[in-house]
Amino acid sequence: MNKRVLYIAAILLIVGFLSFVVAKDAFSITTGAVNNGSKDEIESCISQCPTGCAAPENRICASDGEKYCSTCIIECYGLTVANNSFCSKNKLTKSQITNITHAKNRIKVNATLAECPEKCTCTGSAVKCILANGSREMTITAGKSGNTIIQIKGVNGSTNVTLYKADGKLYGVFKNNTKEVKMLPDQVLYKITEKTAKKFEDEKIELTEDGDYKYQAKEKAKLFFIIPVKVPVDAGIDSGTGKIIRFKKAWWAVFTKEDNSNLIMGNSCGTVTPGYNDDCCQSKGFDVWNEETAECEFSSA
């Protein structure tokens, strides 16, 4: 097969691909499919779930620490089912929230010495804090558009969430609750590479008002095995549990071949010497290694 035939075949594939894009987008609009989790789309999804709800004690625990009437509703919110103990152990009382959100605990840039939280250093536009185990130092700086940047181990994440540091722990005041932020940006990267064993480009990490991290990146690939492209990657990670609640690529990734240079070997704590898994996880800021799920986790206590 000569080059001219290959070029013609490639052009035909591209034309067909673009036609499919247009048709797919039109279909999504007319059917009201849930693509980006907007309020209207979530409500439309919930309206299709079974009606009725069990008593509060029998409702289903989800990965955001709240209980819902059904797994259908949980899925509409883009969450996953969690053990019931998670909803009871991770929920802060009103008294705890009052103590945590005291003005002296608030982390803000350009803070005076009197406004600096305990075991933090406030100098100019940067706040440096030592977390509970003493081995992890977090730096908060001013970002663009009024947000702040959380940096740890050279990895940055942005947020518009109000942050507090109390008892050596980081907390965020989110849209629906106040909870501990156990995950930090460097751990978000670890979770993604642990799941995929790949290195992505143009990575962006944002702690959102929903209490989850939004991770976006691009993966090198070849469209139709010929044309170099970068496939958008999108993930959601619960900041309190470290669970990946969403991971997806652009729908057209099915027409691409992944670039082998993306692969990373030996990243997971499952590859270390047996018996040292917990130590490996703790070096990354987690608590224990879970043999069943084959990943580092935070303890539920």
User: Would the pLDDT of 235 be above 80?
Assistant: yes
pTM of the model: 0.71
Instruction: Let me know if residue 122 belongs to a domain.
Output: yes
pLDDT band at 185 (very low <50, low <70, confident <90, very high): very high
Q: Which two tokens stand for residue 197?
A: 């064993």
Mean pLDDT (the chain) is 82
The partner residues of 180 in beta bridges, in order of sequence, read 171
Q: What is the pLDDT of residues 16-71, one digit of tens each?
A: 555 544 334 333 323 233 434 577 888 889 999 988 888 777 788 887 777 899 99
List the single range of 26-30, 219-223, 256-260 with lowest mean pLDDT: 26-30
Residue by residue, DSSP assigns the chain as --HHHHHHHHHHHHHHHHHHHHHHHHHHHHHT--SS--HHHHHHHHHTSPP----GGGSEEBTTS-EES-HHHHHHTT--B--HHHHHHSPPPHHHHHHHT-GGGEE-TT--GGGSPTTEEEETTEEEEE-TTSS-EEEEEE-GGG-EEEEETTEEEEE-SEEEEETTEEEEE-SS-EEE----HHHHHHHHHHHH-B--EEEEEEE-TTSEEEEEEEEEEEETTTEEEEEEEEEEEETTT--EEEEEE-GGGGGEEE-GGGB--S-SGGGSPTT-HHHHHHHTT-SEEETTTTEEE----
Residue 247 pLDDT: 93
Q: Are 22 and 99 within one domain?
A: no
Residue 93 pLDDT: 82
Instruction: Let me know if residue 141 belongs to a domain.
Output: yes
Of 242, 245, 223, 243, whose CA–CA distance to 232 is shortest?
223
Rounded Cα–Cα distance for residues 108 and 156 (Å): 16
Q: What is the pLDDT of residues 76-112, one digit of tens each?
A: 988 888 766 567 655 788 889 999 999 999 998 888 8
Residue 6 pLDDT: 53
What mean pLDDT is predicted for residues 273-281?
88
Residue 6 backbone dihedrals phi, psi, to 5 degrees: -65, -40
Instruction: Let me know if residue 205 belongs to a domain.
Output: no
Query: What is the identity of the amino acid at 230?
Result: K
Instruction: Let me know if residue 126 belongs to a domain.
Output: yes
- Cα–Cα distances in angstroms (integers) from residue 226 to residues 102, 119, 221, 250, 259, in the given order: 58, 54, 9, 18, 11
What mean pLDDT is predicted for residues 177-190?
92
Which one of 180, 207, 229 terminates a domain? Answer: 180
Instruction: Let me know if residue 72 belongs to a domain.
Output: no
Residue 86 pLDDT: 62
What mean pLDDT is predicted for residues 181-193?
92
Which one of 180, 203, 228 terminates a domain? Answer: 180
Which one of 145, 180, 215 terminates a domain? Answer: 180
Residue numbers of the domain that contains 25: 1-31
Instruction: Let me know if residue 252 belongs to a domain.
Output: no
Residue 150 pLDDT: 95
List the single range of 26-40, 48-62, 209-223, 232-246 with lowest mean pLDDT: 26-40
Q: Are 100 and 27 within one domain?
A: no
- Measured between its terminal Cα atoms, the distance across the chain in Å is 64
Instruction: Let me know if residue 15 belongs to a domain.
Output: yes
User: Would the pLDDT of 147 be above 70?
Assistant: yes
Tally of structural domains, the chain: 2
User: Would the pLDDT of 158 be above 60?
Assistant: yes
Q: Are 99 and 174 within one domain?
A: yes
Instruction: Let me know if residue 173 belongs to a domain.
Output: yes
